[in-house]
């Protein structure tokens, strides 16, 4: 009788100019964040440059992204149905411009 709930970011591919693989998502005096996309492998590496005393620190974190439709298929294969999907925890509508989604699947009766 329970539900399976996740919050996931939506890849920013539609904001990438054709042929580009890098997207700056933060640029401040103390932090630069750059996502490096590998579209063919559905992956990205999130690079974080932080200003420290006397220099910078680089951390690179690899991810594999999935689309909401892929998650729906995996849930269906597990015997679940999509119950709700929002853009955030305040239940904002999920649209083509949403940067994340909260999805809820349930087991059918």
Pairwise CA distance, residues 87 & 4, whole Å: 16
In whole angstroms, give the CA distance from residue 99 to residue 88: 9
* 108 backbone dihedrals φ, ψ, rounded to 5°: -65, 155
Q: Using one digit for the tens of pLDDT, what is the confidence trace for 30-86? A: 999 999 999 999 999 999 999 999 899 999 999 999 999 999 999 999 999 999 999
C-alpha span between 98 and 27 (Å, rounded): 21
Say yes or no to pLDDT of 14 above 90.
no
Task: Measure the CA–CA gap between 94 and 109, rounded to whole angstroms.
Answer: 26
């Amino acid at each position: 009788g329970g539900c399976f709930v996740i919050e996931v970011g939506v890849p920013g591919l539609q904001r990438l100019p054709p042929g580009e693989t890098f997207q700056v998502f933060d640029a401040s005096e103390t932090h630069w964040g750059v996502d490096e996309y590998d579209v063919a492998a559905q992956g990205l590496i999130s690079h974080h440059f932080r200003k420290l005393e006397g220099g910078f620190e680089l951390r690179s974190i690899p991810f594999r992204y999935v689309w909401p439709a892929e998650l729906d298929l995996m849930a269906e294969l597990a015997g679940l149905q999509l119950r709700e999907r929002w853009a955030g925890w305040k239940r904002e509508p999920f649209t083509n411009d949403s940067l994340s989604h909260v999805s809820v699947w349930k087991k059918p009766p």
